[in-house]
Structure formats: structure tokens, C-alpha cells
Amino acid sequence: MDTTQRTEPQRSPEQRRRELLEAADRVVLRDGPGASMNAIAAEAGITKPILYRHFGDKGGLYAALAKRHTDALLEALRAALDAPAERRKRVEATLDTYLAAIEARPQVYRFLMHPAEAGSQSEGGFDVGRHSAPLLRRLGEELAKVIEERVDLGPAGDRLARVWGHGIVGMMHAAGDWWLAERPCSRADLVHSLADLLWGRLAAAGDVAGGPRF
């Protein structure tokens, strides 16, 4: 008897969506940018039209996977930023958290940032730039909030926090992308070098009075 079909009505939409995303994750870990809707549907034990019904197209599935992984990354970054350590150590821990995440799951990273490497644009008109740019913007905005809450940047601090948030994310993304492809140095060396680059005005800025430390 097909137990998948028998138990399908008992699942909530949220549970079924989570199961499909987990199946997609397994395929992405195996195939990276080459992960296809056909392979994901097969891994989930369903037909491709059912997968489309849940996510619309590959862009919808990508967006759902991006949110899933970005949520987890943001949680880890916040934990690094809020660790009981002096500021330089927390900056280094935050950089290392990002780099460790892309190093641990490079296929997921490449699927999210470089899906066109395997010709993914041919499937449902998928456009990497249209989907990856919002992911980076979200990371930038979230980091800006953390900076504004923790660092006293004086007048127009909210604007400067957004500049720094997006700038730091851009730096991490570009440096991490290059490092993951070429491995020119150890992760620890890259973290130390990037922290040196950031360690200018940030080192001299005070904490927000009564707010969380940075």
C-alpha cells in the first residue's frame, strides 16, 4: 500500500511544506545549483505538478529555501553578536559564523547564490539576480538593526547603521564567495583580515546607553 498517499490528508499544510523543503534540501546538498524540480519531486515522492502547487515555480521554491536558511543564519549571527565577549571577539565570531555556514554547506550556498552555474535559468525562467538580491538585502537590514541597537553612532545613526549593515554584508558575501572558490588562506586568517578592515571607527564608538552591548 502507498503509505504516502494514505497519510497525506493527515498532514497540516505547514507540516507538508516543511517536509517538501527538507526533501529539497537533501537534493540541493547532493546536486547544488543543478538541483531540479524533477529531482526534488522525486525525492519527496510526489509529482512535479504537486510541487508546483505548493511553491508555484522554481523561484517560489528558491524563495522558501532562502528564507529557511537565512532565518537560521540570522539566528546564529545574532547569537555571535550577543556572546559575552569583548567587541573585537564578537565581530570576529560573527564573521566566522557566516563563513563557517557557507563552508559547511557549499552546495546550498551555490544553489542560493549561483544557481545559473548549472543552467537553472532554463527552468521556469529562473533568474538568480532577481532572487538572491533580496536575500542579501534582508541580511543587510537585519544587521543594520543590530548595529543601531548596540552602537552609539550619534546623529543620523540609523542611516549610518544601514550603510554599515549593507556594507558589511556585501563585504562578507564578496570575500566569502572568493574564498570559497579559491581557498587562498585559512578561514581564521580571512576572519582576522576582515576584522582588521572593520576595526576603525567601530572600535572607537560607544555602546547605546541602556541598550544591548556590541
For the domain that residue 123 is a member of, what is the CATH number? 1.10.357.10
pLDDT on residue 121: 46
The answer to the question of residue 49 being in a domain is: no
- Predicted TM-score (pTM) above 0.75: yes
- Domain that includes residue 101, residue range: 66-207
The answer to the question of residue 82 being in a domain is: yes
pLDDT on residue 2: 46
The answer to the question of residue 15 being in a domain is: no
The answer to the question of residue 54 being in a domain is: no
The answer to the question of residue 29 being in a domain is: no
The answer to the question of residue 151 being in a domain is: yes
The answer to the question of residue 145 being in a domain is: yes
Look up residue 165 and give its three cell numbers.
549593515
Q: How far is CA 52 from CA 22, 32, 99, 103, 124, in A?
A: 16, 20, 33, 30, 11
pLDDT on residue 3: 44
Q: 152: which strand partners?
A: 206
CA 21 to chain centre: 15
Per-position pLDDT tens, the chain of length 214: 444 443 445 678 788 889 999 999 999 999 988 888 999 999 999 999 999 888 888 888 888 888 888 899 989 998 998 888 898 999 999 999 999 999 999 999 988 888 655 454 445 444 545 556 788 898 899 899 988 888 888 889 999 999 999 999 999 999 999 999 999 999 999 999 999 988 876 676 777 777 776 6
The answer to the question of residue 134 being in a domain is: yes
User: How many structural domains does the chain have?
Assistant: 1
